[in-house]
Structures are given as structure tokens and as C-alpha cells.
Amino acid sequence: MPRGVQRQPVADHQPGCCDVFIELLRACGLICYVACPPVPSVITRKLAFHPPERGMTYRIAMKSDPEKRLKNIRGCRDEPIQLVVRNISNGADYIHSEREVEVFSVTTSNKNDLVCIKCSPDNYSNNPAVSDQVVLFCQPNSSDLGGFLQPNSMNFVTYANVFETDFYAFDYSGYGFSSGTQGEKNMYADIRAVYEKIREMRPDKKIIIMGYSIGTTAAVDLASSNPEGLAGVVLIAPFTSGLRLFSKKPDKPDTCWADSFTSFDKINRIDTRVLICHGDLDEVIPLAHGMALYEKLKNPVPPLIVHGANHHTILSGKYIHVFTRIASFLRHESLVSCRSTEVDSQESSTKKTTDNE
């Protein structure tokens, strides 16, 4: 700067009339998008459901014509299909072996076709309780099957191997390559259709329902009807209801007529055993929600509070004791394992009586 010339102070940028007007337009646009039409179910769908972009993490392909591009699974409902995972780290395609991941479809009562998978472990458990059970997983919001099948990470195939039993999962309506529109009622119809399909395919097996985040609401909704074959429920980072997420009182007794995902009102109707796992650093769904649901359980088991875990890391594989706790639930605390223990106790008691005689 030339000598003798003083630097002029730079004034802070003050928003002008145009800037304020643009921000108002953006706010009005957001409000109109969310609130129009003013129907609670539509507003809930816009606020609560955020599926990943279709094709971002996987695509489906007919085995007879792998290069054919499909909009959703409805286009190949009667064809043998495979799921091609897109490796997020390098963009390469990856296909799990048919032994590891089997793909099938289910049609819901709302006429939506869902992409479903069965992941099989390398070795099945020798524990009779575990061998009589399979797991049905309800995934969190901003994810789809491809996100949970990424190679070289903690994925559904890993879960099957950890739990030593078949592990089922599916994409909700409007997610991935499932047809239809995402929504609360569709999600409840989705899990019911998949559950009934598993019961049809595996009538000799009992089912453990496992829900994560928004998936816990689907798990609670189905479990509260106590369907035949239900052996237990695992809820990971659950919340009491949609509106209670914005309240400092997750255990508020009265439910607003416009509320959604009302697990708080349903969970006390579940007859089977329920395990709740929650991170103490969860900022998306505070731990208080999980504890409020725990207090309403009819048949609780000791919950798992994961110290240091937040909403995204609790099931990432960083906290291995989450998986060991769930595995223990399958072996010792589910309806099947409890009955096995009762049978063993009765047989032992009978044997002792016979020996004494």
C-alpha cells in the first residue's frame, strides 16, 4: 500500500432487501412443500422419509439379461435376479455369492413389490434355540440394501455369520428398487408382507424382528399384534413417537392426534421378550426415548446402553458388544430359547426324580 494512504475499514456485509426477499421465498417454498396438501400422512412422508438416490448403492439384474436396466423389481418379478452392489469407496460393482445372498420379491397388501434378501452364514449354530430362529431386519431411514451390503465392511452377511442363522432384510416401498411410495402405512404393510412370506417359506422357524432407528417403529407395529411365530424383538436406537422427538418429554402420556410412529402407545402390547440397545451419545434420538419405551415393556430383558456410541456408530461394528448382546438374546432370552431352557429343566427334574426312585 502506498505510503500515506490509510486503509479504509471494511464494513460488515449487511443483507440487502433482495437477500431478505430471497430467503423469505425459500422459507415459504419449504413450508408450502411440507404443508401442502395439509394431510398429516403426506407431511410425515415428506419430513420422515429420505431414501438414497435409486442406483446409488446397488441395482438389480435379471440373470438371463444382466445388462437390462430395470426401474424396480416389478419388471422381473418372475425372473431369477441378482443384486449388484456398487462399492461406494471405488464405484466398482460387487456381487455376493448366491450362497451368501439370495434375492426374492414380496408383494404387499398395498400392491407394492419389495426387494428382499436372505443372507446365510458360513456355519449354522449348534445351539438348538438359535437354529430354530431367523432374523428379520428393518433398516433405518437414509439407507437401502446396497448400503448394508458393502464389501469389506460390517454388512448383512457379517450379521448372519455373527448370529449364526439366516438374516432377512428388505427395502421399504419407494426405497431402492422396491416399487410404490415411501410412507408410514406402506412401511407397516411392508414388514407384515415380508414377515408372512418368511413364515410361508420357513414354517419350521420362529422369527426375531430387529429394527434400527425408524425401522423400530415398523418392528413395534407388527410385534404389537403378536403375530404367530414371533420369538423376540430387538430395538436399536428406538424413539417414542414422531412429535415426541421434538419434545423434552419422550414419556409424555398423552399422544397428539396428528402424531406419527406412535411406538409409545403400542409397545406395551408386545407379549414376547424385547431387547433395547441405545447409545448414550445419540443426538438424533436421545437415550431417554429408549428408556421411556423400556419402562413400558411387558416382558423386558436388561437393555444395553452403549457408552460412547451415537446414532450412526452403534451398529457400525465399532462396538462389538452390541452384536454379542444380541447374539446372547437369541441364545438365552428369546421365546424359543426360554422354552428350550424350560424343557431342559423339566427333563432334568424328571431324571432326578427317576434316579431318586
C-alpha span between 137 and 143 (Å, rounded): 13
Q: Cell for 41?
A: 400422512
Share of the chain above pLDDT 70, in %: 82
Give residue-wise pLDDT tens across range 17-37: 555 555 555 544 444 444 444
Question: What pLDDT, on the 0 to 100 scale, is given for residue 10?
Answer: 47
Q: Of 53-67, 203-217, 341-355, where does mean pLDDT reach its minimum?
A: 341-355
Other beta carbons within 10 angstroms of residue 227's beta carbon come to 14
Other beta carbons within 10 angstroms of residue 229's beta carbon come to 17
What one-character DSSP code corresponds to residue 300?
Answer: B
What's the Cα-to-Cα distance from 265 to each of 196, 214, 269, 314, rounded to whole Å?
24, 16, 9, 25
Q: Tell me the catalytic residues.
A: 213, 282, 311
Q: Of 87-96, 195-204, 345-354, where does mean pLDDT reach its minimum?
A: 345-354
Q: Of 2-16, 76-90, 187-201, 304-318, where does mean pLDDT reach its minimum?
A: 2-16
User: Helical H runs in the chain?
Assistant: 17-35, 40-48, 128-131, 156-163, 184-201, 215-223, 263-266, 287-295, 320-328, 335-356
Q: What is the torsional sign of CA 229, 274, 258, 179? A: negative
Question: What pLDDT, on the 0 to 100 scale, is given for residue 214?
Answer: 97
Q: Cell for 118?
A: 436372505
Question: What pLDDT, on the 0 to 100 scale, is given for residue 32?
Answer: 44
**Which residue, chain included where needed, has cell 447409545?**
279
**Which residue, chain included where needed, has cell 451368501?**
100
Which has more pLDDT, 182 or 346? 182
Pair type for strands 304-306 and 274-279: parallel
Question: What pLDDT, on the 0 to 100 scale, is given for residue 31?
Answer: 44
The mean pLDDT value for 42-60 works out to 80
The mean pLDDT value for 305-311 works out to 97
Does position 204 have pLDDT exceeding 50, yes or no?
Answer: yes
Question: What pLDDT, on the 0 to 100 scale, is given for residue 337?
Answer: 73
Which has more pLDDT, 357 or 309? 309
Give residue-wise pLDDT tens across range 109-118: 999 999 999 9
Give residue-wise pLDDT tens across range 286-304: 999 999 999 999 999 999 9
Question: What pLDDT, on the 0 to 100 scale, is given for residue 6?
Answer: 52
Question: What's the chain's average pLDDT?
Answer: 87
Question: What pLDDT, on the 0 to 100 scale, is given for residue 33?
Answer: 40
Q: Are 208 and 231 in contact (CB under 8 A)?
A: yes
Question: What pLDDT, on the 0 to 100 scale, is given for residue 304?
Answer: 98
Concatenated DSSP letters for 124-138?
--S-HHHHTEEEEEE
The mean pLDDT value for 120-129 works out to 95
Local confidence band at 78 (pLDDT 50, 70, 90 cut-offs): confident
Give residue-wise pLDDT tens across range 227-249: 999 999 999 999 999 999 998 89
Does position 264 have pLDDT exceeding 50, yes or no?
Answer: yes
Q: Report all structural domains of the chain as residue ranges with CATH numbers, in order of start.
A: 93-252+259-333 (3.40.50.1820)
